[in-house]
């Protein structure tokens, strides 16, 4: 595993010294002595919008393409900005759908639309009166229900083996996932908090969890247990 060293080296280019980051193997107290793997001379340039969109399908083809078997359920997440950010994440990771629970869809629409940046037009979504209702429906469809929550039996996200299709449940930062939903969940996953804070904003936690689930899905890493 590669990590970046905090120290910088210089590459001599005529009279000018070019700063570059050394790549070293290992990170942390148990990783052993660092070793130099290589030196980055350049990270390239930022891609233009035209380049970013070059390989994307047109609107009709996009709507028809299969999505990843990951459903996201929001349990008590009510702030418009957070809901909008979840739309954007579900678009980025091509989630099957987003289920917004217990929230008046008309409340905070301006902030939702601002944060979603148009992705609410592309992500399949639905509203449910309660997260319990949404989770029961997901279980009936064969989803493994996974709550992102710090519980007594939670498993670190890096050690969790998902079984697809997955229903990922997220709660608000203040209240978390409700106990009624935790009682229905097949597993709880947690994100290590190595600093002084105890939790992450729901959108930040969702980004970490969805990246892990989407990567494992694309790479074919999953539990085969029934």
* Residue-range domain boundaries for the chain: 2-39, 53-219
Q: Which CATH class is domain 53-219?
A: alpha beta
Answer with the residue of higher pLDDT: 70 or 25: 70
Look over the chain and give the mean of its residue pLDDT values, rounded to a whole number: 83
Nearest CA among 94, 79, 149 for reference residue 124: 94
Q: The tokens of 31 are what?
A: 């990783």
**Each residue's pLDDT tens digit, 201-218:** 999 999 999 999 999 998
- What pLDDT is recorded for position 221? 67
**Greatest extent of the chain over all pairs of C-alpha atoms, in Å:** 68
Q: Both tokens of residue 192? A: 């290590």
Q: Is the per-residue pLDDT at 94 higher than 80?
A: yes
Q: Are 189 and 209 in contact (CB under 8 A)?
A: yes
Per residue in 17-68, pLDDT (tens digit) is: 445 444 445 555 555 555 555 555 778 889 888 888 777 777 777 787 889 9
CA distances from 108 to 81, 112, 125 (A): 8, 6, 17
Question: Model-level pTM greater than 0.75?
Answer: yes
């Amino acid at each position: 595993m590669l990590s970046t060293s905090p120290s910088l080296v210089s590459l001599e280019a005529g009279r000018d010294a070019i700063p570059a980051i050394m790549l070293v193997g290992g990170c942390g107290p148990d990783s052993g002595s660092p070793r130099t793997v290589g030196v980055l001379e350049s990270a390239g340039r930022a891609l233009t919008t035209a380049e970013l969109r070059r390989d994307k399908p047109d609107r009709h083809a996009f709507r028809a393409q299969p999505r990843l078997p990951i459903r996201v359920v929001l349990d008590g997440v009510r702030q418009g900005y957070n809901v909008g950010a979840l739309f954007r994440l579900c678009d980025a990771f091509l989630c099957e759908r987003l289920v917004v629970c217990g929230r008046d869809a008309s409340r905070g629409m301006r902030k939702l639309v601002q944060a979603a940046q148009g992705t609410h037009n592309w992500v399949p979504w639905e509203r449910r009166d309660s997260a319990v209702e949404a989770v029961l429906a997901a279980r009936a469809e064969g989803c493994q229900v996974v709550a992102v929550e710090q519980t007594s039996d939670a498993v670190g996200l890096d050690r969790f083996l998902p079984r697809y299709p997955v229903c990922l449940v997220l709660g608000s930062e203040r209240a978390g996932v409700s106990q009624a939903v935790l009682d229905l969940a097949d597993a709880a996953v947690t994100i290590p908090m190595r600093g002084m804070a105890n939790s992450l904003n729901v959108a930040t936690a969702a980004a970490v969890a969805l990246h892990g689930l989407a990567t494992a899905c694309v790479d074919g890493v999953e539990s085969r247990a029934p």
